[in-house]
Amino acid sequence: MTKSKVIYYHVDQHDQRQSTQLSNLCGIISPCFKLGFTNNFDMKFDPVPDIPTNFTHTFDDLVIRRAIELWELGKPIRLWWSGGIDSTCALIGLLQTKRMGDQLIVYLSDKSVEENPKFYDMLVREKTTFQWHSPKNYIFYNLENWNGETINVNGCGGDELFLSITDHIVDMEKFFNIKDTNWKNILSASLSYKESNSMILDIIEEYLSLSPNNVETCWELFWWLSRTIDDKSSMYMSVRFLEDPSVYHLDHAFFYTKDFELWSLSNPYAGHNGTPKSYKWPLKKFIYNFDKNKDYLDHKEKESSLPYIFENRIQYCSPIRNKIVYEDGTYVRTSWTK
């Protein structure tokens, strides 16, 4: 009998292992290491592919290809739209490839409208079908979302194409100074937990010794970590909270595909134009080509949508949380105090 692989494991924040400290630096709560560390419970993972030398697909091509791939699953799509860069890019890909008879539901909140009001107005004009998020209509506890009649698509994986970084670690203005002589010059001065500075820097040095490239700048550092540590909590956003996590296959992260990974490996510096506001430049250009919103192109910055989605979950959600989920849908749970 084949043992089922773990697809999700929630790491205790207080775990002091080297691997956990490295993943915490990137804000990853369910890490799967592609090299350097043994993965918890024989976790399912893909190795780092060889860096291609002749990968010619453009980012725009891959967005369209991914959207077509999702439509070909043959079910209505519910796109989780925050108004942010990743989910807006995914939504445009689906809109551009939607065929007669395809059904698209845009799952959004008041915060989505605030974040991208012009795009919302366009969706209204196009008579888009909306489903509204609220604490009482919570995404993970609405049975209609997980009855198998639709699939749920989110913008996860967009950060990981370029880099993952927790906002409190590095001043973004300094971070984008890619001419800095070494990542240590920024990181050693920015880490908030000074008492563990030396230890985490040693861990990073050891991990970077496995890189085929000479990692010098902060961008190179976090890009390499993003490329070699899968964030299972981002790949499978729903499994932590679903009462029946066996339906995790109805959850699709738009940017977690092998082609996007190969594109990222082929274009390590494509994620910016040298300034913080140009971060995720390929996505922002793709959006601009569709909606011509110059203000969004020039001024929109990375924001995390998850804090709002998880807002009020303590009041309205079950005190049960999934700690481990296996590929076959079986799971191990833990309880938490409301």
- Residue ranges of domains in the chain: 52-320
Q: Does the pLDDT of residue 304 top 70, yes or no? A: no
Mean pLDDT value of segment 274-282: 85
52-320 topology per CATH: Rossmann fold (3.40.50)
Residue 1's pLDDT is 46
pLDDT tens for 48-70 read 888 777 888 999 999 999 999 99
**178 band by pLDDT with thresholds 50, 70 and 90:** low
Residue 95's pLDDT is 98
Query: Rounded to the nearest 5°, which phi and psi values hold at 102?
Result: -70, 140
pLDDT tens for 225-239 read 888 999 888 898 888
Residue 309's pLDDT is 55
Global pTM reads 0.90
Contacts of 316 (CB under 8 A, 6+ apart): 135, 136, 138, 141
Cα(93)–Cα(107) distance, integer angstroms: 16
Residue 57's pLDDT is 93
Q: Does the pLDDT of residue 38 top 80, yes or no? A: yes
